[in-house]
Amino acid sequence: DAGVIQSPRHEVTEMGQEVTLRCKPISGHDYLFWYRQTMMRGLELLIYFNNNVPIDDSGMPEDRFSAKMPNASFSTLKIQPSEPRDSAVYFCASIGGGFGDLLYGYTFGSGTRLTVV
């Protein structure tokens, strides 16, 4: 497996524009997580899905953020409208649903570095 795939790797956009970040989890993994990382706040969990269903979105900063998982192999995180304070690195991670999958922990993607100017 190629691992967790995120795109794009870098995104620069103007304030007010819509931004869509994409993630392909590892095939067969039941859980998908979106994280945001900044120097000030560290690693923050935004939302996670189990079997394509959003379970906990309490970490989503505000209504400008939305996430979907239309099928087991694809998820998006959308920011509309974007603001400079959304500048961060956004990570996607996945893990299988069996207890034995805990042996391997989460697999993280390489992240999307978002800059809103």
Partner 1 sequence: GEDVEQSLFLSVREGDSSVINCTYTDSSSTYLYWYKQEPGAGLQLLTYIFSNMDMKQDQRLTVLLNKKDKHLSLRIADTQTGDSAIYFCAFSGARPGNAGNMLTFGGGTRLMVKP
Look-up of token digits 């990382």: 37
The Cα–Cα gap between 112 and 76 comes to 12
The count of residues interacting with partner 1 (CB under 8 A) is 27
| Closer CB to partner 1, 15 or 43, in the complex | 43
- Rule CB under 8 A: say whether 117 interacts with partner 1: no
Report d(CA 3, CA 25) in Å as an integer: 7
Among 56, 80, 85, 117, which residue sits at the site for partner 1 (rule: CB under 8 A)? Answer: 56
Q: Which of 36, 111, 114, 116 binds partner 1 (CB under 8 A)?
A: 111
